[in-house]
Structure 1
Amino acid sequence: MTKQPAHIVVAGGGYVGLYTAHRLQRRLRRELGRGTVRITVISPEPYMTYQPFLPEAAAGSISPRHVVVPLRRVLAKCRFVPGAVTAVDTEGHTVSVRTVAGEEAGGEPLRIAYDELVLAPGSISRTLPVPGLAEHGIGFKTVEEAIGLRNHVLEQLDIASSTRDSAVRSAALTFVFVGGGYAGVEALAELEDMGRYACRYYHNIRPEEQKWMLVEATDRILPEVGEEMGRYAQRELRGRNIDIRLGTRLESCEDRTAVLSDGSRHPARTLVWTAGVKPHPVLAACGVPLDDRGRVRCTTTLRVEGVDHVWSAGDAAAVPDLTAPPADPPALCAPNAQHAVRQARRLADNIAAAVRGRPAADYRHRNAGSVASLGLHKGVARIYGRRLKGFPAWLLHRAYHLSRVPTFNRKARVLAEWTLAGLFRREIVSLGSLEHPRAEFELAAGSRRHPEDT
């Protein structure tokens, strides 16, 4: 009787999913060639978004297509299934997948059997029950949201330039960002740079008329780069007339008015929500143990606690941090990109070892530090204990992320775009119609009158 090849299923196409599958392709090259192992990657999107580049994509420094990595091209030795995991049967070793074809046909979900399963659905935006947030808030986690925000900001300049209503103009030129972590600070800084530059093409808008505001519930921004560099970033942003409200929460944004916990009210047509993430809710249907934050409980080898042949890492996983001082309960690895990439490598090595009947190794890391961009030619960094700011930190930020984005193809394209952006002026044009490509055709088709109607 012919033995079936070992089937490794990777549920998720984000950082962990892509890096794990990509490394498995190399680690199990011989097994894949012999047909004794096969790898399947399941993801609702056919690409991985390199999120650190989203602020630059929103500001127009990088083309949106170069912020994403196509899964089919990079994972050429893997089978790719476009769909969303809806449930996992850990006893029967099967994964239920909702595919587009299945939805359209109204059929049953696709069931895929596995021998080893990687749960890597990633995270979603963590929202709060703030009145008006669902109607008026803009997220900043996907490339679609980044490009939509760019178009939106430029459209607000168009509105401000063309209206005679002072209230509408003021609201159009007010941009509120909620959340003082990487995503919020970098997005705000890049877009403020873009907005200030764009004013040279609007004869009746002065840069100082724009009001950019950052709302943060804690007492500092960018905690990852340390207290000293966080204070420097705060001074740098305030020096650009950016209003930073620390220890302040968004209470409401109904009727396009941001109401803050300090009692102030700010009519604004732009409210960007970057106040953290939470594990994907599908984990609750996967039959695995979760912690109080909804993350999968994992061992130091990245196996799921108490569940055979299931692994996890990244934002969705609660992984003990072996480099932290002993504590009760033990410290966990932070849910950031640095850990996700490193855990994915260890995870792939451990799965390859399991397939070959070898023991798995613990995940242990050395914190390299953090880098953050504050707009063009400005940044902060703390690398191996050394602190940098200004242009050197910005240059390090670009060099670090260029080295981390997957594939030589993407590295070369991003570097070429940065070079061209340094030689030519910014492109300041809104392509909001891309978000509704059929609008003009629908209008034309709807306005046509049939002969029998006359």
Structure 2
Amino acid sequence: MNTVTRPRILVVGAGFAGVECVRRLERKLSPDEADVTLVTPFAYQLYLPLLPQVASGVLTPQSIAVSLRRSKKYRTRIIPGGAIGVDLKSKVCVIRTITDEIVNEPYDYIVLAPGSITRTFDIPGLTDHAFGMKTLAEAAYIRDHVISQLDLADASQDPVERASRLQFVVVGGGYAGTETAACLQRLTHAAVKRYPRLDPSLIKWHLIDIAPKLMPELGDKLGSSAQEILRRRGIEISLGTSIAKAGPEEVTFTDGRVIPTRTLIWTAGVVASPLIATLGAETVKGRLAVAPEMNLPGDDGVFALGDSAAVPDLAKGDGAMCPPTAQHALRQGRHVADNVIASLRGQVMKPYVHKDLGLVVDLGGTDAVSKPLGIELRGLPAQAVARGYHWSALRTNVAKTRVMTNWLLNAVAGDDFVRTGFQARKAARLKDFEYTDAYLTPEQVRAQVEGSGRPD
């Protein structure tokens, strides 16, 4: 007996792009039109721009992790695991589940939104001794680590050790690095008042970047304003500088300076997920080269978006690519869902066009710089715009309520500087959080698919 199966739509990644795509598909497709499956190791959508506020204790971790299982009305099947390879010819995605089982998942349409990982370089000791700021676990872990440095410095009788524990280095002058340094500096500045044996002047924060300017996308005036705010707080900014090597108790800068520190936070950019390399397709600086409609030319039913796709920015023109921001990812998710539906129904797909709405940078407290619709703002107005934007972008009312409550409570009552005990056992660093060695080569993908056969 012949049976008619529904088209299978597989979405890889539960970031801004992937979740927006899934929700749009659910709203616009009838249940008998297609089966939708989402591959993600964590059943939540992480609101990445607010990670520095989790690290500094302004927000609780669960307030920016929006559950994908909260509503009973969603019909998408969730596979708990990570995609580690894609065979475009066989239309099979190879998945390593959270039970460490490798399975082949067939598809008719695939939407690749695996996001990005922290960009690292071949710097001695970097992955062994640096922390990242890309996952919820890293943000929570860094908060524990920073507070533990104050505790350990307070307990130490060695002035050299005490000084090294109270110096902190952040590498990366983009939004993530700048906000991380700003928010964590406020944390230590407030916390040290509860440690009468510690000299506040020993606490030193360093923000370094190889670029000549801090957050150049903001423009000269706002970038200078941000630098002035940070320097006024005592953060030492070093531009045109990077890391030469990293050790457990010191970091060497490329200008020769050696900084005694137990805390190195690496936020020097991101690169596309290693999943993209398994396709054997054309890439642009590691991102999958796609058409303006976000489909892969020459491969029917393959779409890519977000941080891992080089989506042409038609609003800017001149060959520009969309930057890896939440603003674009949200809109690309909705747009690619419409194009998948159009392809499924035999309709014409539309190119993605979005004019950038501006940038917001939250430096903690009443300090911020924002550029909504090209209007430059500083101080409290900029902070209102920054937090208003983030609050409105949260997907559920529950998340909005939690974040707003956290902001109000922190503003009124401050922080208790409690650490949860992550530091009680083996220390974890950047290499322990992102599992970059989990992916297959294109040859391994082909062997896996051919060896197991394609399941029905």
**Quick check: TM above 0.5?**
yes
Paired residue secondary structure (1:417): helix
Task: Kindly provide the CA deviation profile for residues 407-453 of structure 1, in whole angstroms up to 9, marking residues without a partner as x.
Answer: 1221122112222222212121111248759xxxxxxxxxxxxxxxx
CA 1:434–1:171: 2 relative to 1, 3 Å = closer
Indicate the residue corresponding to 1:92 in structure 2.
90
Q: Is the 8 A contact 1:295 1:317 kept in 2?
A: yes
Aligned AA for 1:390?
Answer: G
Indicate the residue corresponding to 1:195 in structure 2.
188
Indicate the residue corresponding to 2:51 in structure 1.
54
Indicate the residue corresponding to 2:310 in structure 1.
318
Of 50, 56, 74 in structure 2, the residue corresponding to residue 76 of structure 1 is 74
Higher relative contact order (CA 8 A, sep 6+): 2
1:38 aligns with 2:35: yes
Aligned AA for 1:169?
Answer: R
CA 1:206–1:396: 2 relative to 1, 3 Å = farther
1:402 aligns with 2:361: no
Aligned AA for 2:79?
Answer: V
1:371 aligns with 2:364: no
Bigger drift between 279-288 and 261-270 goes to: 279-288
1:222 aligns with 2:215: yes
> For the residues of structure 2 that align with 1:47 and 1:2, how far apart are their CA atoms?
35
Paired residue secondary structure (2:283): coil
Bigger drift between 70-79 and 258-267 goes to: 70-79
> For the residues of structure 2 that align with 1:209 and 1:411, how far apart are their CA atoms?
38
Paired residue secondary structure (2:303): strand
Indicate the residue corresponding to 1:445 in structure 2.
none
Task: Name which one, 1 or 2, has greater alpha-carbon Rg.
Answer: 1
Shift of 1:102: 4.7
CA 1:158–1:77: 2 relative to 1, 3 Å = same
Number of aligned positions between the proteins: 424
> For the residues of structure 2 that align with 1:195 and 1:151, how far apart are their CA atoms?
12
Aligned AA for 2:134?
Answer: K
> For the residues of structure 1 that align with 2:67 and 2:391, how far apart are their CA atoms?
17
1:232-243 equivalences in 2 (<5 Å): 232-243=225-236
Q: Is the 8 A contact 2:248 2:262 kept in 1?
A: no
Shift of 1:73: 2.8
> For the residues of structure 2 that align with 1:259 and 1:118, how far apart are their CA atoms?
42
Shift of 1:219: 0.7
Task: Kindly provide the CA deviation profile for residues 287-338 of structure 1, in whole angstroms up to 9, marking residues without a partner as x.
Answer: 43222x2111100001012211000001100111111243xxx221112221
User: Structure 2 stretches of 5 or more lacking a match?
Assistant: 427-456
> For the residues of structure 2 that align with 1:205 and 1:255, how far apart are their CA atoms?
22
Task: Kindly provide the CA deviation profile for residues 158-203 of structure 1, in whole angstroms up to 9, marking residues without a partner as x.
Answer: 1111111111011000000000001111011011101100012101
Shift of 1:260: 1.0
State the identity %: 38
TM norm structure 1 = 0.90
Aligned AA for 2:126?
Answer: L
> For the residues of structure 2 that align with 1:71 and 1:290, how far apart are their CA atoms?
31
Paired residue secondary structure (1:101): coil
> For the residues of structure 2 that align with 1:428 and 1:131, how far apart are their CA atoms?
33
Q: Is the 8 A contact 1:302 1:363 kept in 2?
A: yes
Q: Is the 8 A contact 2:144 2:422 kept in 1?
A: no
Shift of 1:24: 1.2
Paired residue secondary structure (1:187): helix
Indicate the residue corresponding to 2:175 in structure 1.
182
Shift of 1:357: 2.0
Of 275, 290, 298 in structure 1, the residue corresponding to residue 268 of structure 2 is 275
> For the residues of structure 2 that align with 1:199 and 1:46, how far apart are their CA atoms?
37
Indicate the residue corresponding to 2:241 in structure 1.
248
Q: Is the 8 A contact 2:83 2:96 kept in 1?
A: yes
Q: Is the 8 A contact 2:288 2:309 kept in 1?
A: yes
1:342 aligns with 2:339: no
Indicate the residue corresponding to 1:286 in structure 2.
279
Aligned AA for 2:181?
Answer: L
Q: Is the 8 A contact 1:152 1:432 kept in 2?
A: no
Indicate the residue corresponding to 1:19 in structure 2.
20
Indicate the residue corresponding to 2:120 in structure 1.
127
User: Structure 1 stretches of 5 or more lacking a match?
Assistant: 104-108, 438-454
1:432 aligns with 2:433: no
Indicate the residue corresponding to 1:442 in structure 2.
none
Shift of 1:139: 0.6
TM norm structure 2 = 0.90
Task: Kindly provide the CA deviation profile for residues 193-218 of structure 1, in whole angstroms up to 9, marking residues without a partner as x.
Answer: 01100012101123322000001101
Paired residue secondary structure (1:154): helix
> For the residues of structure 1 that align with 2:266 and 2:329, how far apart are their CA atoms?
23
Shift of 1:130: 1.2
Indicate the residue corresponding to 1:452 in structure 2.
none
Shift of 1:393: 0.8
> For the residues of structure 1 that align with 2:98 and 2:360, how far apart are their CA atoms?
39
